[in-house]
């Protein structure tokens, strides 16, 4: 089938200072991914089209982009699902550097502010490992699936307008440690998220939940963090 692609272009280094769109018509199979179409264009039609991709199998999270107005991973979006007229744009809310490539530093700075690593000052009982029951592991299982693609954060209308909001991905990754029975810094993380740029900025628009390519219940995770703050903390 013939697919009509409309691709966002911006490259100040090459004189394309004003964002615009280039269009391409290419042959594709219904089971082709949008990433395949981009690779086809970059490899055979226009080598200047720029986008990030690494694993190309929905694991690394580097090819998040807006496809027909919705945040998706290009490697997981099939032509048969998005249609034969496809508009591709960079994710919103982060500075665009070139075409679909955005500056991810603000996103990762926010992520790092919530200490996304296990904090436990005690020596394990057996001196080797900290054991956890299946139920304790299940408590935060959903939020361990995050691949930091930023699809959720850049679909959030609060994040678009307020760069001081930490964003859904940061809260999801804080949730992963807050509810981990082995972690001892839930209190610190919850105090950061109780501040004015934290979890209470969420208006439950549910864009994040819809955008997540890993099907994480993002809004629910944020609600659980809010409940943990209002109830004075979590108990492990």
The contact set with another protein (CB under 8 A) reads 158, 161-164, 184, 186-187, 190-191, 194-196, 198, 200-201, 203, 226, 228-230, 232-236
Q: 12: which 2 tokens?
A: 């100040």
Judge whether 43 and 36 are in contact, CB under 8 Å.
Answer: no
SS3 of 155, please? helix
User: Which is nearer to another protein, 30 or 157 (by Cβ)?
Assistant: 157
Nearest CA among 175, 146, 169 for reference residue 156: 169
What minimum distance in Å lies between the beta carbon of 29 and another protein? 43
What minimum distance in Å lies between the beta carbon of 203 and another protein? 7
User: Which is nearer to another protein, 86 or 228 (by Cβ)?
Assistant: 228
Nearest CA among 124, 201, 37, 225 for reference residue 217: 225
Distance CA 37, CA 15 (A): 25
What minimum distance in Å lies between the beta carbon of 202 and another protein? 10
User: Which is nearer to another protein, 138 or 163 (by Cβ)?
Assistant: 163
Q: 222: which 2 tokens?
A: 């944020």
What minimum distance in Å lies between the beta carbon of 156 and another protein? 12
SS3 of 182, please? coil
User: Which is nearer to another protein, 94 or 158 (by Cβ)?
Assistant: 158
């Amino acid at each position: 089938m013939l697919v009509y692609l409309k691709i966002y272009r911006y490259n100040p280094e090459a004189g394309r200072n004003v964002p615009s769109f280039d269009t391409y018509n290419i042959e594709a199979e219904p089971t082709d991914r949008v990433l395949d179409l981009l690779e086809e264009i970059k490899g055979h039609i226009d080598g200047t089209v720029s986008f990030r991709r690494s694993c190309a199998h929905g694991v690394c999270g580097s090819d998040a982009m807006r496809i027909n107005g919705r945040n998706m991973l290009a490697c997981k979006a099939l032509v048969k699902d998005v249609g034969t007229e496809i508009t591709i744009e960079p994710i919103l809310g982060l500075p665009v550097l070139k075409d679909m490539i955005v500056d991810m530093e603000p996103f990762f700075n926010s992520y790092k502010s919530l200490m996304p690593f296990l904090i436990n000052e005690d020596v394990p009982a057996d001196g080797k490992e900290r054991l956890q029951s299946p139920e304790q592991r299940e408590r935060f299982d959903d939020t361990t699936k995050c691949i930091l693609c930023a699809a959720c954060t850049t679909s959030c209308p609060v994040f678009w307008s307020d760069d001081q909001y930490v964003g859904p991905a940061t809260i999801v990754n804080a949730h992963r440690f807050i509810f981990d029975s082995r972690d001892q810094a839930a209190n610190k993380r919850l105090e950061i998220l109780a501040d004015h740029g934290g979890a209470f900025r969420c208006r439950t628009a549910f864009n994040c939940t819809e955008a997540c390519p890993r099907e994480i219940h993002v809004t629910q995770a944020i609600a659980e963090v809010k409940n943990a703050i209002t109830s004075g903390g979590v108990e492990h």
